[in-house]
Chains A and B, each alone.
Chain A
C-alpha cells in the first residue's frame, strides 16, 4: 500500500485566497483525521471522520475551516478565506480502528499564507 497520500506537498498563497488540501487514506481504514502542526501549538486534531461521517470537529479553529469526506478514499480540508496565521503543516492520518490504535500519517502539506 502506498500509505496516506496528501496533496499538494507545499502550498503558498496570498491572504484571502481559498486553499484546498487533499487526502487519500489507506484503503480499508474507517477513520480519517486532520491535524495541524505549528511550533507554538504542536500537533492539534482539527476534525475526524468515521465511515465518512464527521464525528468531532471541535478542533476546527473557525468557520473559515471546513472538511469533507465524500467517499471512503478521499477527503478535503478547505480554508476560505486564508490568513497568515493559518500557516502550518497540515497532516492527514488514517486508522483502521480509531484513536486508540496506530495512526498512519501522510507526509503533510506545508501551507504558507503570505
Chain B
C-alpha cells in the first residue's frame, strides 16, 4: 500500500524567511496530493492541493511542487509570518484500491518574530 514520508519533523525559521517541507510517496499510481495545516486545538485545514497532471501550483505565499518521476512533492511558504506556525501534514491518495488518503507524520513549523 501507499506510504508517505515527511521531512523535517520540526522546522524553525525567522519571520520573513522561507520554509520548505518535503514528502515522498511510494505508490506511483497516486494522483492527489493535499497539504493540511493544523493549529493547536483544531482540526486539520486544507491549504493547497495538487493533482498529478500539474507540476506546480501557487496560492499567494504558498506553493506546492510535484515530481512524479522521483515520487516526491514539497510545500513552499515564502515570507513566513508568526501565524504560519502550526503542524503541516502532506497526504497522498492512491488511484486504485480503497481510495484512502495516507497522511505523512507532520512537520511542526515555528516562525519566530
Q: Which A residues lie at the B interface, using CB under 8 A?
A: 4, 42-43, 45, 56, 58-59, 91, 93, 98-100, 102-103, 105-108
Contact = CB atoms under 8 A, between A and B. Distances in A.
A102 B28 CA distance: 22
B100 A42 contact: no
A100 B101 CA distance: 8
A99 B42 contact: no
Nearest to B44: A105
B89 interface: yes
B45 interface: yes
A102 B35 CA distance: 10
Contacts of A4: 43
Interface of B: 31-32, 34, 36, 41-46, 49, 89, 93, 98-101, 103-106
A107 B93 contact: no
A107 B49 contact: no
A25 to B, nearest CB: 13
Contact of B41 (A91, A100, A107): A107
Contact of B43 (A58, A91, A102): A91
Contacts of B32: 99-100
A100 B98 contact: no
Nearest to A92: B43
A102 B49 contact: yes
Contacts of A98: 99
A58 B36 CA distance: 23
